Amino acid sequence: MAEGASVGRRVEELTTPAFLVDLAKVKTNCANMLATCKTIGVSLRAQTKTHKTIECAVLQTGESKSGLVTSTLEEAEFYARHGFDDILYGYPLIPHHMPRVIALTRQLKKFHVMVDSQLAVDTLKDTPTPGKPWSVFLKVDCGNKRAGVWWEDEAGVDMALQLHNAPNITFVGVYVHCGNTYGASEPKEVLQIQEDTLERLLKFVDRLKQRGVTCTTVGTGSTPSCRQPSDNMKNLTEIHPGNYTFLDVQQWSLGSCSQEDIACCVATRVIGHYPHRNQMLIDCGFVGLTKQGYGHMDTGYGVFRGHPNLKLCAMTQDIGFVEPLEGQLDYEQYPIGSLLYILPWHSCATAALYPVYHVVEGDTVLAEWRPTRGW
Amino acid sequence: MAEGASVGRRVEELTTPAFLVDLAKVKTNCANMLATCKTIGVSLRAQTKTHKTIECAVLQTGESKSGLVTSTLEEAEFYARHGFDDILYGYPLIPHHMPRVIALTRQLKKFHVMVDSQLAVDTLKDTPTPGKPWSVFLKVDCGNKRAGVWWEDEAGVDMALQLHNAPNITFVGVYVHCGNTYGASEPKEVLQIQEDTLERLLKFVDRLKQRGVTCTTVGTGSTPSCRQPSDNMKNLTEIHPGNYTFLDVQQWSLGSCSQEDIACCVATRVIGHYPHRNQMLIDCGFVGLTKQGYGHMDTGYGVFRGHPNLKLCAMTQDIGFVEPLEGQLDYEQYPIGSLLYILPWHSCATAALYPVYHVVEGDTVLAEWRPTRGW
């Protein structure tokens, strides 16, 4: 279908698989997160990696178009081109990024980078600025064990001091991702991880303070923790979740949301009946869903909305294999050509497969959102 | 980088992750498959789903631009727009596809569809043709257990008869995918599956012959079987592999190729050192590689070319976690910013994540190939 051609059409007219976004739900999810921030008294620096669209970032920022964090330079450039500002490239900086960092620093009022290595600190110190100082966050690892200086190590304090003292750098503060909440087995554990992360982070901030370094910004995030905010989050200045826009079965399983809050799904059609093996095939394979999540759901690679007895038991590139969890498949209920809707395990991974999202209200396509791609 | 801007540059100048295609290897892989077909005495109907590019389909068809099979209508339309002909939409036909099938039938000299249901047969019989008959393959399941009429069932023979007898249909023949070769645990088993598939298919073709129905085309395929062709393949008229263009670690593990034959890889950079946990991070996460293949390789989610001691043990969206299989990581060997090359488990899944492929000769980018996407 040509660009824009699906607007005003019914979902049943779309080519499948199609990635559907429920506009009312996304709006609610975005408004709720802004309300949460207001209640806690922190800013929202919205992570854009789940959707990578202009329209959804407008909703995330309450139409201010200010205050984003991206995980790719491509996204930062995309949002900068479309009038957004106060953008953090929330990814470990390496020298190779510098030409694009220079251009973004020049282009935006506020463009920030994030460092977690001495090489990155040295690179910034040694690179002439384009008219204004580099604005820099220090990434701290408080237990997530991905990027960041380990919170207990002296190396992190030393880097913060260097950033603070460098004449061409504005040290903004510290930045933590508590992605380890995704490993939680129950909501209570999400809260505990969050508490531990914040306690460690605030201890680190105190150590900086004792050395005369003030963090104007102290941020942490992850959708599981930000959808269940704890009391001590009021000690932060900002949070930076992203998945809360669309949500998914993973968030549902972590207690971050109900099934009804999930704002995206994959529309797929039945393409064949194979009663001799109690199966049917659908036109959604791994290029339409990803294979992530298998083993976490009784229903295979996803959850069929409204059909809890269906299991997506296997996928090849463009074909999904569907079986009943129990009994015989009722083929009359699923005629060839009929539509089914799959809630994805991980919406970030599924959305990344689609060049266009169909934004719907009920069965009607209201808009097409076109994400940016690449790095 | 702007379109075309990478041509003539060195790989180390590219934004990472980047999907690299070794032109010499792709050319060899394509030429070898054409040579195999010549030796056996069959045609090659090249499957395009692995790469979805014009340039690679030109190589697959020996520059004739004739004889393709696609797994999406989008690909069929893309190739039709670019001067290709004799294209089979090799996917179970459903009524929803018909408007685009009508347009392609009108546009091309030879456009074929594939059916495996009575509904599809009825749809074709009942839809007025655009000036020439529908050209139709019957999909037969000879043990793969995906799409297709089961080879032993009478329903398949009956459908072939209906297609043969319908005044507005040209029944071309039968089409089988022996994708079950991917489940083989050793090369000998690939050969056995192939033998069984062909034996069943030829029995089915004989049953049709006894009913007065001749198959002008009898095709089967899958890269594992076509890279190790068996004697009885000479009883076919065409084969239709696709993955052989790029190959991958999965094919290597099935004995379809050597590591050196694999024509694609993901270039990635080291972005951080974390000696306190004996790890480093790279800028390739699941959006740059997919999580497919875990559990099949000692080295995690992929194979680092030239670095057999490295394991890609985990990935988030844009970050990969790398550990040594044994001992301590030698960080001096892997400076921050240095490049590594990952051979993917499943090149179809990995290629699908990239809006552009960088085609290289050694360290130099010769061309950008831009695949089509969507359905």
Distance from CA of B287 to the nearest CA of A (A): 7
CB-based contact A71 B317, cutoff 8 Å: yes
| C-beta separation of A141 from A105 below 8 A | no
Residue A3 located in a structural domain: no
In degrees, rounded to 5, the angle at the alpha carbon of residue A241 between the alpha carbons of residues A236 and A246 is 155
Q: Are B139 and B189 in contact (CB under 8 A)?
A: no
- The H or E element that residue A54 is part of is helix A54-60
The reported pLDDT for the residue numbered A228 is 85
C-alpha to C-alpha distances, A154 to A142, A150, A158, A163, A219, nearest whole angstrom: 14, 9, 6, 14, 20
Q: What is the pLDDT of residue A184?
A: 86
Domain limits for position B59: 42-243
Q: Are both B236 and B337 inside the same structural domain?
A: no
**Nearest residue of B to residue A119, measured between CA atoms:** B336
B105-144 residue pLDDT tens: 999 999 999 999 999 999 999 999 999 999 999 999 999 9
Searching chain A, which residue's CA lies closest to the CA of residue B180? A316
Q: Given CB atoms, is A16 within the 8 Å cutoff of chain B?
A: yes
Does residue A27 form part of some domain? Answer: no
In a domain, A106, yes or no: yes
Look-up of token digits 């050597």: B258
Domain boundary among A244, A279, A299: A244
Q: Which residue of A has its CA nearest to B14?
A: A96
Determine the distance in angstroms separating the CA of B227 from the nearest CA of chain A, rounded to an integer.
20
Q: Which of A16, A19, A21, A18 is nearest to A337 (CA)?
A: A16
* CB contact set of A356 (below 8 Å; sequence gap of 6+): A19, A368, A369, A370, B374
CA distance B102 to B121: 15
Q: Which residues of chain A have pLDDT under 50?
A: none
Q: Which residues contact B41 (CB under 8 A, 6 or more apart)?
A: B234
Q: What percent of chain B has pLDDT over 90?
A: 91
Q: Is residue B26 part of a domain?
A: no
Pairing label, strands B43-44, B46-47: unpaired
Residue B17 domain-assigned? no
φ, ψ of residue B229 to 5 degrees: the values are -65, 140
Residue B211, φ and ψ in degrees, nearest 5: -95, 10
Are A219 and A246 spatial neighbours (Cβ–Cβ below 8 Å)? Answer: no
- Euclidean distance between CA atoms A177 and A173, whole angstroms: 14
Tokens of B225: 């079987």
Shared domain for B292 and B343, answered yes or no, is: yes
Tokens for B372? 């089509």
d(CA A134, CA A354): 35
Q: Are residues B113 and B234 in the same domain?
A: yes
Instruction: Find, among B48, B176, B174, the residue nearest to A318 by Cα.
Output: B48
Query: Residue B265 above 90 pLDDT?
Result: yes
The values of phi and psi at residue B311, to 5°, are: -120, 130
Domains contained in chain B, number: 2
Q: Both A129 and A265 in a single domain?
A: no
Q: Which two tokens stand for residue A331?
A: 């083929």
Mean pLDDT along residues B199-212: 96
Using a CB-CB distance cutoff of 8 angstroms, which residues of chain A are in contact with residue B52?
none
User: Would you tell me which residues 190-219 of chain B have a C-beta closer than 8 angstroms to some C-beta of chain A?
Assistant: none
Question: What distances in angstroms separate CA A84 from CA A66, A109, A239, one per listed residue?
Answer: 6, 10, 18
Report d(CA A334, CA A350) in Å as an integer.
24
Q: Which of B 84-113 lie inside 8 A of A, CB atoms?
A: 91-92, 94-96
B91: chain A residues, CB-CB within 8 Å: 271, 283, 318
pLDDT at site A34: 97
Residue A7 lies in a domain: no
Residue A218 has a pLDDT of: 96
> In this structure, which amino acid lies at residue A215?
C
Nearest CA in chain B to A96: B337
Cβ–Cβ contact B356 with A under 8 A: yes
The shortest CB-CB distance from B146 to any of A15, A146, A319 is to A319
Nearest of B298, B274, B263, B300 to residue B285 by alpha carbon: B300
Looking up tokens 């499957």 gives B47
Asked if A256 and A54 count as a contact pair (C-beta separation under 8 A), the reply is: no
CA distance B37 to B21: 24
Q: Which residue in chain B is spatially nearest to A117 when comparing CA positions? A: B272
**What per-residue confidence (pLDDT) applies to A178?**
87
- Confidence at residue B245, expressed as pLDDT on a 0 to 100 scale: 98
| CA proximity to B60, closest of B33, B89, B87, B21 | B33
* Residue contact B272–A373, C-beta within 8 A: no
Find the CB nearest B72 among A91, A292, A318.
A318
Question: With a cut of 0.85, is the ipTM above it?
Answer: yes
pTM: 0.97
Please state, as a whole number, how many other Cβ atoms lie within 10 Å of the Cβ of residue B204.
Answer: 26
- Do the Cβ atoms of B371 and B57 come closer than 8 Å? no
B72-102: burial string, b at 16+ Cβ within 10 Å, e else: bbbbbbbbbeeebbbbbbbbbbbbbbbebbb
Please give the mean pLDDT across all residues of chain B: 96
Amino acid (1-letter code) at residue A73? L
Tokens of B151: 């080879």
- Reply yes or no on whether the pLDDT at B164 is more than 90: yes
Instruction: Judge whether B135 is closer than 8 Å to chain A, CB to CB.
Output: no
Express each pLDDT in B6-61 by its tens digit.
999 999 999 999 999 999 999 999 999 999 999 999 999 999 999 999 999 999 99
Q: Looking at the structure, do residues A101 and A153 belong to the same domain, yes or no?
A: yes
Q: Are residues A231 and A281 in the same domain?
A: no
Do residue A194 and residue A329 come from a single domain?
A: no
Under 8 Å CB-to-CB from A375, ≥6 apart: which residues?
A72, A73, A74, B15, B16, B17, B283, B288, B318
Asked if the Cβ–Cβ distance from B318 to A116 is below 8 Å, we say: no
- Kindly state the tokens that stand for B67: 């004889």
Last residue of a domain, one of A187, A221, A244: A244
Using 50, 70 and 90 to split pLDDT, how confident is the model at B181? confident
Least CA distance to B97: which residue of chain A?
A: A15
Statement to judge: residues A116 and A220 lie in one domain: yes
Residue numbers of A between 216 and 255 with CB closer than 8 Å to B: none
Domain termination residue (choose one: A217, A244, A271): A244
Q: Give the CATH number, domain containing residue B263.
A: 2.40.37.20
Residues 6+ apart with CB under 8 A from A42: A233, A234, A236, A237, A238, A239
Contacts of A349 in chain B (CB under 8 A): 286-287, 317
With 0-12 CB in 10 A as exposed, 13-18 as middle and 19+ as buried, what is A107?
middle
| Length reported for chain B | 375
User: Which residue of A lies nearest to B353 if distances are taken between CA atoms?
Assistant: A353
Please name the residue ranges forming H helices in chain B.
23-40, 54-60, 73-81, 98-107, 118-126, 154-165, 187-210, 223-227, 249-254, 286-289, 347-351
Q: Is residue A179 situated within a structural domain?
A: yes
Q: Give pLDDT, residue A167.
A: 97
Amino acid at A265: C
Average pLDDT over residues B294-314: 97
CA distance B36 to B42: 9
Of A218, A207, A128, whose CA–CA distance to A171 is shortest? A218
CA angle A302, A366, A369 (to 5 degrees): 65
Residues B106 and B152 occupy one common structural domain: yes
Same domain assignment for residues B343 and B313: yes
Tokens of B287: 């959006």
CATH code for the domain in which residue B112 is found: 3.20.20.10
Copy the structure tokens of residue B251: 């094919």
Q: Would you call A322 helix, strand, or coil by DSSP?
A: strand
User: According to the model, what pLDDT value does residue B190 have?
Assistant: 87
Q: How far is A57 from chain B (nearest CA, A)?
A: 19
B352 close to A (CB below 8 A) = yes
Portion of chain B with pLDDT greater than 70, in percent: 100
B146 touches chain A (CB under 8 A): yes
pLDDT at site B60: 98
In a domain? residue A2: no
**CB of B145 within 8 Å of any CB in chain A?**
yes
Model pLDDT, residue B126: 98
Looking at the fold, whether B314 and B353 belong to one and the same domain comes out as yes
Same domain, B74 and B215: yes
CB A168 within 8 A of CB A125: yes
